[in-house]
Structure 1
Amino acid sequence: MTTHTDPSDSGNTQQGSYQTLHRSSSEFSSRDEYLEHELQIMQPKRWRPNLPFKDYRFEYEDTIAAMAGTIGKIVMVGAIAATFAAPLGLGEGFILENVRYELLIVAVFILLFSGFLLPTANLAGTHGPLIPLIPIVVAAGGHPMAFGLLIGLFGLLLAMSKGGSILANLTSRGVCGGLLLYLGFIGTTSQVKKLFAWAEGIEMAHVAFIIILSTIVLYALLEHFKKRWLAVPLSCLLGGGMAVLLGAPFEFKTGPGLPNMNPMYWWGESSGWMLGLPTIESFIVVLPFAILAVAMWSPDFLGHQVFQKISYPARTEKVQMNIDDTMTSASIRQTFGSILGGANFTSSWGTYIVPAAIAKRPIPAGAVLTAVFCVIASVWGYPMDLAIWQPVLCVALIVGVFIPLLEAGMEMTREGKTTQSAAIVVFSSALVNPAFGWALTMLLDNLGLIGCKERSKELSSMNRWIIPLMMFCVLTGVMALVGLLPGIPAIMPSFR
């Protein structure tokens, strides 16, 4: 990708503080040069205070990433809460109140970690790939608190052992690029189908076609004028506005208010989840699912980190997302969120980091604004109705997350011996899921059976086959236990 570098910036990452190195945007010939300079002079501190204007600044690009992240958060938490609510017999009131509760919980933790103590930790978002597993967890008698606490525990263990960064370093460009291509394509097609399903449900299928066609043209124009970071708000405005103009029905239902903030309400036997507190058996039931959830973090985190790397200019390693720090913050957030009664199961926040990377903005400033937007959405209520309306939701996810993932995947697989690995990732992900595809292809790639043979020869035995084989065996074994391998019944009777 093209990088604009001011000659006077040479060595700025090594000398002087952020405050002394900061220069006004008017001193640069373009907005891109100013934003790239900001990335190069930042000096984030781990487990020490990082303060606005002293260690980073707010730019209007941060509001775009924060807006996209807030929309994605409302949507994803709502999806998880709804997936739990249906088999447990909980109504719409539970879903709405828990989403509002989760927005307040996450605001505190992203301020504390991504905005203050760990500025290279991506925001702790929602684990979308877990959604299809939730009905299986509930059917097996799984308890949401037990599930969340085990995810937090295993995540902390992986972060403290630096297992996340080890696995990321063992994943080649071909494997990562293929994973991004798969996720981008599957995500895009799923959102297009959802938009058409919504339009057909109101007997106005032409609305979906017009919205998507208009979004394509808008995205192309933004790409031409190098303003892709505006894609999410403009597409949301276009999708929602066009749907209203074409006669699609919409009304605000969620008014201002606050959720119940008492954890005992949420974990009562006749209130909230109506499940009471978990027992030892509850933890045993969800154990394999928790292992699988944390194992699926690595490809998710890696994809977000790589997208940031190819969007940022040179000499910005200090401000790029740190996988182990992200795992740490996500694990702590998951643990406390589950104790408090939230429905969220966390992962790296894709709907935030992708637009932020496109806009060439570091994590902390947008994190602070995202926290503010989440609180506003929770208390005000009305933005929640807009965010989950299909014409707004679908186009936001398409242009804000999935199309950029496709672009990043193609960028990573255009050079070197990467196409073989990318193809195998897509093939094996389609067979089972992206976690299986990533683990299998990483093993084959590191063994030198596919991809770059020279890279394989340079790896130690531990990195070449021992760690990849262990990862593949753990993941495949857990999937076999709970019945996630197509055509093979679950080994454990309780999951059949």
Structure 2
Amino acid sequence: MNTTPQDDISSDAKPGADTQTATNSYKNLHKPSSEFNSRDEYLEHELQIMQPKRWRPNLPFRDYRFEFEDAIPAMAATIGKVVMVAAIAATFASPLGLSDAFVLENVRYELLIVAFFIILFSGFILPTANLAGTHGPLIPLIPIVVAAGGHPMAFGLLIAAFGLILAISKGGTLLAKLTSKGVCGGLLLYLGFIGITSQVKKLFAWAEAIDMTHIAFIVIFSTIILYAMLEHFKKRWLAVPLSCILGGAIAFALGAPFEFHTAPGLPNMDPMYWWGEDTGWMLGLPTLESFVVVLPFAVLAVAMWSPDFLGHQVFQKISYPKRTEKVQMNIDDTMLSASVRQTFGSLLGGANFASSWGTYIVPAAIAKRPIPAGAILTALFCIIAGVWGYPMDLAIWQPVLCVALIVGVFIPLLEAGMEMTRVGKTTQSAAIVVFASSLVNPAFGWSLTILLDNLGFIGCKERSKELTRMSRWIIPLVMFVLLTSVMAMVGMLPGIPALVSSFRH
């Protein structure tokens, strides 16, 4: 597909984009799969004929259909959700002396909260908004937030406020247009490689803890062979469920301990319980000081959205066929839905901090499926996992979890990064963004490399000459200075103490 990250990904902004006639509606253009030579042709045709409508109802069978392939990203998304929310809740809860039972109950609560907003936005009124997932890159910051006295509600509400500002001002799309192919490809390579190595280390650490290190090797080796076979037979979209089954079955057959222990039930649905003085978080409601403490962290959290969202958008561009711009993820709509979901989640008492849902959009792009149908199934799976309880145990079991994330998210990110950097003057920018991201984090690497790339120091010199002064250096410089200043304030620059003493940890 000969598109670039600078292309506008949605026709929604164009006049008349939502207009349908009786003859070109999805319902009339749909054809049964039996009329196509292959399943791929059918799925590509479905993407090309969809007519998503913003801020108007999008209904199943009238505006989109459910296919078997939709269940794959929904399954991967649910597994990722359970794990990521548990990680954030546990990171906040541990220093506060809260139990594992509290963490589990909050995860169940978040699964029910997110299901409502998935259906409302991605499945109904904003079909080009990716699901509002969990802000994974934020997890390393949370211990610093807690040490500084940060309040989870204040933190979440400020993230929501800054996200709304960025979405309404169309800032997300603007930053996407300023990001070259090389910068974006390098970012995908970095995130993919770091993610794979992290999951491999976690699986080996788990295996060592049970004195069965060989299990990790066998599971990963088997997953590599399975993935290669699926790639050969063009069935890569089946990688997540088959790898989960394979990894879990091998580990259990080799004697790895596993048991279900999370019984069916419902969490406490009362927000006053979660924000009570002696119940829930046992923190009470936030004060003005609480908002001041988390202000720089909230700025940084929303700044991290852009590279994250851009990577997901570009992955769709690479995986989808031509003439599918209408159904591709809209960055600003995704920021809007994530911000609204964050607002209500924080007010209700949830521990989640929202971002674009990578464990959903990446497998969905591979399966060549649009956002809405899989979104509805994801909401259903989240409700089942939260109420039933037992699927949560399976989702967080390391042989299942690690291989699901590796084959469902991180290997595809690597592949997309390689695809984006194989032609043109992209390798310089890709190398610099990997280098700079390794020094601090992806937000730092992304903002620095955009500045260097748009100035013409690296990458395509012709592209730099075509940019306006605002796009060439003013916006990239302001963004880099702002992000670096915030990181310096909270002590995220390696070897440099926090500039504001209250953020030292």
| Normalised-by-shorter TM-score class | over 0.9
* 1:420-476 deviation line (CA, Å, top 9, x unaligned): 000000000000000000000000000000000000000000000011111101100
Per-residue deviation, 1:294: 0.3
Aligned-partner Cα distance in 2 for 1:16–1:136 = 53
SS at match of 1:307: helix
Amino acid paired to 1:135: P
| DSSP 3-state at the match of 1:206 | helix
- State how 1:10-409 maps to structure 2 within 5 Å: 16-409=24-417
Identity value in percent: 83
Structure 1: how far apart are the matches of 2:389 and 2:117?
21
Q: Compute the displacement of 1:2 (Å).
A: 11
Question: How far does residue 478 in structure 1 lie from its aligned partner after superposition?
Answer: 0.4
Deviations 1:176-196 (A, max 9, x none): 000000000000000000000
Name the counterpart of 1:10.
none
CA positional deviation for 1:134: 0.4
Q: Distance in 1 between matches of 2:215 and 2:59?
A: 46
Deviations 1:297-335 (A, max 9, x none): 000000000000000000000000000000000000000
Task: Indicate the residue corresponding to 2:6 in structure 1.
Answer: none
> Hey, what's the Cα distance between the residues in 2 that align with 1:271 and 1:179?
42
Classify the secondary structure of the residue corresponding to 2:234: coil
Measure, in 2, the Cα distance between the counterparts of 1:316 and 1:177. Answer: 21
Give distance in 1, aligned partners of 2:257 and 2:465: 61
Output the CA distance in 2 between the equivalents of 1:67 and 1:493.
Answer: 44
Opposite residue 327 of structure 1, the aligned amino acid is M
Q: Which residue of 1 aligns with 2:15?
A: none
The amino acid of 2:360's aligned partner reads Y
- In structure 2, distance between residues paired with 1:117 and 1:164: 20
Q: Secondary structure at the match of 2:368?
A: coil
Residue 261 (structure 1) shift: 0.2
Q: In structure 1, what residue type is equivalent to 2:413?
A: L
Task: Please tell me the residue identity of whatever aligns with 1:198.
Answer: W
Residue 482 in 1 paired to residue 490 in 2?
yes
Q: Give the aligned residue type for 2:477.
A: L
1:163 is aligned with what amino acid? G
DSSP 3-state at the match of 1:156: helix
Q: How far 1:389 sits from its partner (Å)?
A: 0.4
**Hey, what's the Cα distance between the residues in 2 that align with 1:62 and 1:290?**
33
Opposite residue 426 of structure 1, the aligned amino acid is V
TM-score normalised by structure 1 residue count: 0.97
SS at match of 1:119: coil
Distance across 2 between alignment mates of 1:471 and 1:88: 34
Structure 2 unmatched ranges of 5 or more: 4-19
TM-superposed CA distance for 1:234, in Å, is 0.4
- 2:433 is the counterpart of 1:418: no
Shift of 1:88: 1.1
Counterpart for residue 439 of structure 1? 447
Q: Secondary structure at the match of 2:172?
A: helix
Aligned residue type for 1:296: M
2:137 & 2:37 partners in 1: Cα distance?
A: 43
Moved more, 357-366 or 77-86: 77-86
1:444-455 correspondence runs (5 A): 444-455=452-463
RMSD: 1.1
Displacement of 1:98: 0.2
**What secondary structure is seen at the aligned counterpart in 1 of 2:422?**
coil
2-structure distance, mates of 1:362, 1:294 = 25
**What is the alpha-carbon distance in structure 1 between the residues aligned to residue 64 and residue 478 of structure 2?**
41
1:464 equivalent in structure 2: 472
Deviation at 1:342, TM superposition (A): 0.2
Q: Work out the CA distance in 1 between the residues paired with 2:120 and 2:74.
A: 16
Per the normalisation by structure 2, the TM-score is 0.96
User: Deviation at 1:85?
Assistant: 1.2
Q: Which whole-Å CA distance do the structure 2 matches of 1:258 and 1:241 have between them?
A: 29
Residue identity matched to 1:319: V
Q: 2-side partners of 1:229 and 1:270: how far apart? A: 47
Q: Residue 132 of structure 2 aligns to a residue in which SS?
A: coil
Give the Cα separation in 1 of the matches to 2:227 and 2:149: 45
Aligned counterparts of 1:321 and 1:412: Cα–Cα separation in 2: 18
Which residue matches 1:494? 502
Distance 1:91 1:473 in 2: 40
Instruction: Specify the SS of the correspondent of 2:59.
Output: coil
1:314 partner SS: coil
2:416 counterpart SS class = helix
- In the alignment, structure 1 segments of 5+ residues that lack a partner are 4-12
In structure 2, distance between residues paired with 1:439 and 1:89:
37
Q: List per-residue Cα deviations over 1:384-425 (Å, max 9, x = no partner).
A: 000000000000000000000000000000000000000000
